[in-house]
Amino acid sequence: MATAQFGIFAVGTSAHCFLEFSLKPGVDPQTLATAIADIEEPHTTVGGANLVTGLRPSLWSGLAPDDMPANTEDFAAPMVGPGRFTMPATQRDAWVWVSGAARDLVFDMSAAIIDQLHPVAEVATEVTGWSYRHSRDLTGFEDGTENPPLAEAGDVAVVPDTLPGAGASVVLVQQWVHHTNFWNNLPVAEQERVMGRTKLDSVELDDAVKPVDSHVARNVITDDSGQELHIFRRNVPYGTVTDHGTMFVGFSFDPPRMTRMLERMAGIEDGVRDALTRYTTPLTGAYYVVPSVESLRAFATPSQDD
């Protein structure tokens, strides 16, 4: 049985660092994969930090074609919806997410990773994340309400052992900046219509009053039988008092459902754009394959004890 990277499910962490890397000119992709695989995780998660690493889909496909999750592609082109609303494509070569209970632990581990990867890759983006009011985003609403229970999250996020890429996951990463002044000037009742659920207790609005362009309505996708198709979200707030937003981090074994979710948000599918996108703007967009522990370990430098 292939093992998913443990950090995917390390919920409850309050400090985060998201790093994207670009391969340096002349460096072979396998060298990058080895450098990623050689990153040492903490020997214990008690009071420590958690690590999740991913690689550009086209890069991973060339390195490990037999371990490639199906229907997985780079975020290669912007998504453009009605009114020229655009979700940018900013695909990089590698992604590293460090999370933990304290900012100093995350800082030190992230700095060590940057130093370790420096010979082969440059830091392309760095975003600091943190928890806000336990499980709320900076709109004041609870985030991740559509997530499956943690006991079922692996079924949603991880490729099963019967399929290529077993134990892997595919992550969608987007940085969304909030237009807080515009949002805060809305009455709470209007904010609830934009979201599609109540602000205080996060109860979904009745279908009779929930707008078709509400965030909930646009994000819930179903298959042909009407069965809801879930992803596993690990979103966190980021930034400062004057410049902040949400890091969207969504995992799935089935990337097309994440692409469809974005198409619905942008209004590409049916011309109905997610109302929330009028108060927050995507700055980045990338997909990464998060290989299983065993698949990634195959690229690690052999230890002298082996």
pLDDT score recorded for residue 70: 97
pLDDT score recorded for residue 11: 93
Residue numbers of the chain with a pLDDT score lower than 70: 42-47, 304-306
The tokens of 106 are what?
Answer: 């995350």
Other CB atoms closer than 10 Å to residue 53's CB: what's the count? 24
Task: Choose the catalytic residue: 143, 213, 254, 274.
Answer: 143
Domain range summary for the chain, segments of one domain joined by +: 13-297
Q: Is 143 a catalytic residue?
A: yes
Q: What is the pTM of this model?
A: 0.96
Chain segment 198-232, per-residue pLDDT in tens = 999 999 999 999 999 999 999 999 998 989 999 99
Single out the residue of 33, 39, 35 nearest to residue 62, CA to CA: 33
Single out the residue of 232, 243, 257, 231 nearest to residue 180, CA to CA: 243
Distance linking the first and last C-alpha atoms of the chain: 22
The tokens of 53 are what?
Answer: 């690493």
pLDDT score recorded for residue 303: 78
Other CB atoms closer than 10 Å to residue 184's CB: what's the count? 12
Residue type at position 31: T
170 touches 291 (CB < 8 A): no
CATH T-level fold of 13-297: Alpha-Beta Plaits (3.30.70)
Q: Say how far apart CA 134 and CA 143 lie, in whole Å.
A: 10
The tokens of 76 are what?
Answer: 């290669």
The tokens of 61 are what?
Answer: 């496909």
SS3 state at 208: coil
Single out the residue of 160, 149, 163, 147 nearest to residue 4, CA to CA: 160
- Strands, E assignment, the chain: 15-23, 49-55, 79-80, 86-87, 94-100, 121-130, 169-178, 232-233, 236-239, 244-252, 280-282, 286-290
The tokens of 31 are what?
Answer: 């060298």
